[in-house]
Structure 1
């Protein structure tokens, strides 16, 4: 009985040793494998600002492309960090497949507004992050002028999100002007008239008044007679011709 028990232990030890050897051999062989290919995927197919070639240039290690480098020397964390630092990237993941393919999945930032200043212009995404303009793509978004600080940007974002969440307003409002009095004026798609919105108080009420006014004046086609539509006063819409 003792001999059988000893034999079992010996057999188990031999099998364990064999498995360890095979794993070590396989692991070392895998580490010596070189990166055969680089694959870049954009979430939802949205690659307006960045191209595959531009991302490939970000996947650099030791001042050269990672392609044909050994898997063992690849620093995935550093590569992912390089890609994530790009101002057009919202989220990135970099990983290696068993067959030596370096894959990178990227979610690009989606601008919702373009801020125009005396010094130039830039985009802002839904998270309030500034995104530089690109020579590859020009986003069709709301144009905002009169904004002078990050505080102003933070203040206007809820208004922009409200407009974008409404199917009619999203199509109608094309520009927003902020004045030093903290009052806002909208440029619209349907005519040369302006919407005097006032301050950002009672936003929902003001938009309801505006849409009710539109419903009436669009039907009788009188809206084009006005230069300004003022919704900042309580329970009324004041127009000037």
Structure 2
């Protein structure tokens, strides 16, 4: 009985040694393999700012492309960090497959507004992150002017999100102008008139008044007679012809 137990124990030890050797041999052999191919995959969405070629240029290590480099020298963390630094990238993942393919999955930032200033123009995404304009693509988003600081941007983002969350307002409001007195005016798609929104308070109430006014004037087509529709006063809509 003791001999059988000893034999089983020895066989188990030999098995462990063999498996360790095979794993070590396979691991070393795998690390000696070279990167044979680079694949870039964009997550579903409006992926217009970055191209596959642009991402490939970001996958650089030691001033050269990672293709044909040994897998053992590839620093995946560094490559991922390098790709993530691109202002159009919201999230990136870089990893190696067993057969030597370097894969990169990219989620691009989604602009929700374009800030138009005297000396600068840029997008802001849904997280409130500043995104530069691109020569590859011009996003069709709300245009905002009169914004002069990051605090102004933070102030206006809840308004922008409210508009984008409403199916009608999203299609109707095309521009927002902030005045020096912190009041807001909207440009709209349906006509040349402006919406005088006033300060950013009672936002939901003002939009309810505006939509109720639209429901009436769109039917009889009288809305085109006005130059300004003012909703900043309590419980009333004041129009100027």
Asked whether the two chains share a fold, i.e. TM above 0.5, the reply is yes
User: Mapping of 1:94-113 within 5 angstroms?
Assistant: 94-113=94-113
Partner Cα separation in structure 2 for residue 164 and residue 123 of structure 1 = 15
User: Mapping of 1:91-130 within 5 angstroms?
Assistant: 91-130=91-130
- The corresponding residue for 1:20 is 20
Partner Cα separation in structure 1 for residue 13 and residue 212 of structure 2 = 83
- Alpha-carbon RMSD: 0.8
Q: CA deviation at 1:4?
A: 2.0
**Secondary structure of the residue that 1:191 maps to in structure 2?**
coil
- The corresponding residue for 1:44 is 44
* Distance change (3 Å), C-alpha of 1:45 and 1:215: closer
**Secondary structure of the residue that 1:44 maps to in structure 2?**
coil
Q: CA deviation at 1:46?
A: 3.4
- The corresponding residue for 1:139 is 139
Deviation sequence 1:154-176 (CA, Å, 0-9, x none): 00000000000001100000000
- The corresponding residue for 2:167 is 167
Partner Cα separation in structure 2 for residue 45 and residue 200 of structure 1 = 31
User: Mapping of 1:63-102 within 5 angstroms?
Assistant: 63-102=63-102
- The corresponding residue for 1:153 is 153
* Distance change (3 Å), C-alpha of 1:225 and 1:45: closer
Partner Cα separation in structure 2 for residue 141 and residue 9 of structure 1 = 71
- The corresponding residue for 1:216 is 216
1:230 equivalent to 2:230? Answer yes
Partner Cα separation in structure 1 for residue 135 and residue 192 of structure 2 = 30
**Secondary structure of the residue that 1:92 maps to in structure 2?**
strand
1:57 equivalent to 2:51? Answer no
**Aligned residue pairs, count:** 241
- The corresponding residue for 2:6 is 6
Q: CA deviation at 1:11?
A: 1.3
Deviation sequence 1:51-104 (CA, Å, 0-9, x none): 000000000001100111111001100000000000000000011111111111
The worse-fitting range, judged by mean Cα deviation, of 16-25 and 142-151 is 16-25
Whether the 8 Å contact between 2:46 and 2:110 is mirrored in structure 1 is no
TM-score by length of 2: 0.98
The worse-fitting range, judged by mean Cα deviation, of 10-19 and 149-158 is 10-19
Partner Cα separation in structure 1 for residue 75 and residue 160 of structure 2 = 40
Partner Cα separation in structure 1 for residue 3 and residue 138 of structure 2 = 80
